[in-house]
Amino acid sequence: MTFSSKSAFFKGERENPFERVDQNKAMLWFYEQGYSITGDERGLIDEYRCYVREFREDDGVPEGFKALLFNRYMKMSFSVVDSIPDFKAFYEEYYG
């Protein structure tokens, strides 16, 4: 996975440096670490493209990883469509 050095949380560490420090960063580290090993998008890109159009396409974060984050973020949502702006704000906070 290729992230810009500014936005990546996983840098190849064996242990999550954000554990018990910052829950959101620990979660993102975990997702990045898993994605870097598998690169598995599990068909999530189609779902992502259906809801999130033309968003941060040139920021260096793989679309498959964005699709994974979107899928995980939306698991707790009552309305996917209504939560898209919140997802984008979340993404901007950590990867913007």
The pLDDT tens digits along the chain (96 residues) read 445 444 478 888 889 999 999 999 998 888 888 776 665 566 788 888 889 988 988 888 888 889 989 988 888 888 888 889 999 999 999 988
Residue 60, Cβ neighbours under 10 Å: how many?
Answer: 14
Q: What is the CA radius of gyration of the chain?
A: 13
Q: What pLDDT, on a 0 to 100 scale, did the predictor assign at position 18?
A: 95
pTM for the model stands at 0.71
Q: Give the pLDDT of residue 22.
A: 93
All structural domains of the chain with their residue ranges: 23-95
Q: What pLDDT is stored for residue 37 in this prediction?
A: 63
